[in-house]
Chains A and B, each alone.
Chain A
Amino acid sequence: MPDYILTTSPQMAKRHARHSRFQWYGRLAIAISISFMLLMFTAIFARGTGAFQKTMIAVDVEFTESVIDPKGTRVEMDLKQGNYKPLILSGLQQVVTGATERKDRNRLYKLVSGGAVFDLGERVAAKPDMIGTTQRVWIAASSEVDLYIKGKVDPESDEAVRRLKDQDIAWVKLLQEDGRVKRKFNRVFFTSGDSRAPEMAGILSAALGSFFSLLVCFLIAFPLGILTAVYLEEYAKKNRLTNLIEVNINNLAAVPSIVFGLLGLAVFLNFFNLPRSTPLVGGMVLALMTLPTIIIASRSILRSIPQTTRDAAMGLGASKTQTTFHHVVPLAMPGMLTGTILGMARALGETAPLLMIGMVAFIVDVPKGVTDVATSLPVQIFLWADSPEKGFVELTSAAIMVLLVFLILMNLFAVYLRRRLERRW
């Protein structure tokens, strides 16, 4: 019998080496994608976490009646709009004694947020007794001081290129030595709308805009989506009309999202004259965009329901409609809901179509309904990312973190629904 060698020859060793090399290419490809993702998350987290805290400065404010309410009427409106600037300034000057010249006074006042006067106005209006007393009040620092305190301004860098000059830094240090600087949770970020000043800007109006848009989107897309899926799977006969509908749905799924925005602009805004920049129109556009996703997902769920379920119901003399809506749809509901939520999660991150219908405005007020002018979280991110002010980088990153948290929650909810309600057969 000839000697058949079964061990690895040098030529085979080469082939095996090629195989393990190829496997490493695969690992490398995955590693690149995933490390890119991690890099992106780290970059955003590193920049964004700061925004959840803001710097406050303690100022001893003497609430002088002659400045706040010279007529002594105590009318709320007047109290709110009183002239608090000199009070804050003199409070600061108690610590920073050197700043007496006009130019210096202006610079000194810039250490606190431009919104501080409104803040004081609110407090006095809420408690008019304060007038005539002197109180230590914590007021928001300006964005530049905030960034300095968070270590994001390099005091060694060229003075010409930074907004916070050496003089300002020296003053901040004086305040710090006096224990008048601290960082606290940035409530404003979650409770107010947009602002030109980073330290006063928040995501509430954008978040609510997103919420209202998604609400409209859900109310339109969910029923339309599942009913279409039910029609196509349970009722439609195979004919040219059905085929046309199917081709349409598949093609719509591939239309770039920005085109849906143009549809909204041309049809909803210009033709039907619906209110511009509102969650109503935004939700409608998002609904049309998510519809194909929901239909395709729902159809695959309906298809997975065994024919025996239908046969059983039909065999008892149930009509087509009874069979469908008493037996098939309830079984498919969890899956269809899951598909809808995943579609809505995509809609939540969508930006381009909303730009087209004008949900890109500067929104300070919090929207109260679907017909109020609003923006949305991703659009707010886009707007802030475009702002030249350095303080907005932090806010943009923080807003992205909030958006990602919402997206993850929606996805987890979908997974939970699927696990909890899905039936096995």
Chain B
Amino acid sequence: MEKNMTEETAAQTDASTPIMTARGVDVFYGKKQAIKNVSLDIPENQITALIGPSGCGKSTFLRCFNRMNDTIDSCRVTGDIQFAGQDIYAPKVDVVALRSRIGMVFQKANPFPKSIFDNVAYGPKIHGLSKSKDHLEDIVITSLRRAGLYDEVSDRLDEPGTSLSGGQQQRLCIARAIAVDPQIILMDEPCSALDPIATAIIENLMDSMKEKYTIVIVTHSMQQAARVSQQTAFFHLGELVESGETESIFTNPEQERTQNYISGRIG
């Protein structure tokens, strides 16, 4: 199994070692199959975009990476997904540990009804990451800085997170995810509810974040995928149609379906 995989990965990647690999992943909701036999590599410290028309299963696939699908009773995942060489669906794997390594930012900004500070401090607190109050404060401020939000909120950290604007709320959610110090951040259409200016800020932020984190982003906007990502995977009807470097996917797709989608004929 392992040998087989190294061969495959070697065949697919060129730029960087994959931190995550998916092999033959199927996802079922009850009897309905949402993802069919998908294999994909996520290279480290890059941004991978999952694109495709709505309902193509890209979000479902994203949620497999930190086992968020576990929270849905009828959902069943088969196949092999590895994080740093470990099968994340193995029985001995603790989802708590997994999700502290692989954070997530959701489509609609969902700050807790707590203060800005407590929102960011939530993760470090539950995982026991801070040794002292000062340390916790350090973590919160660093995370807010990395999310590019600190300058805007430094004087009102005890105001509720819900009082921020939409774009700020989404960056707060990013800061909240960063605070746990994950290796990978999954983003599920993080800008779909935001205006173009807020979107641009977040796109810039992602670009600077990839130095430290690996990012997988689901987006329905091809322009966004083209702007921010290095790798792109195109999904259609639950299948992975094509994946590779963003530039080649957009300029020179191999598959006709990809071509049709990019030129706007399906979607």
Contacts and interface: CB of A to CB of B under 8 A. Distances in A.
Nearest to B93: A6
B97 A6 contact: yes
A273 interface: no
8 contacts: A1-B84, A4-B84, A4-B183, A6-B86, A6-B88, A6-B97, A9-B97, A16-B96
Given A1-B17, A1-B84, A7 B128 contact: no
Interface of A: 1-9, 11-12, 15-16
B112 to A, nearest CB: 18
Instruction: Determine the main DSSP class of A at the interface with B.
Output: loop
B85 A6 contact: no
A128 to B, nearest CB: 78
B84 A12 contact: no
Q: Which 5 A-B pairs have the closest CB atoms?
A: A8-B94, A4-B84, A6-B93, A6-B97, A7-B92
Given A1-B17, A1-B19, A7 B84 contact: no
B96 A12 contact: yes
B235 interface: no
B101 interface: yes
Contacts, number: 39
Q: How large is the interface on B (under 10, 10 to 19, 20 to 34, 35 or more residues)?
A: 10 to 19
B83 interface: yes
B183 A15 contact: no
A3 B86 CA distance: 10
B94 A12 contact: yes
Interface of B: 17, 19, 44, 83-86, 88, 92-94, 96-98, 101, 126, 128, 183
A4 B94 contact: no
Given A1-B85, A6-B83, A15 B96 contact: yes
A6 B17 contact: no
Contacts of B44: 1
A7 B17 contact: no
Contacts of B86: 4, 6
A7 B91 CA distance: 9
Contacts of B128: 11
A12 B101 CA distance: 14
Contacts of A12: 94, 96-97
A281 to B, nearest CB: 50
A1 to B, nearest CB: 6
Nearest to A5: B97
A4 B96 contact: no
Contacts of B97: 5-9, 12
A23 to B, nearest CB: 16
A6 B101 contact: yes
A108 B185 CA distance: 93
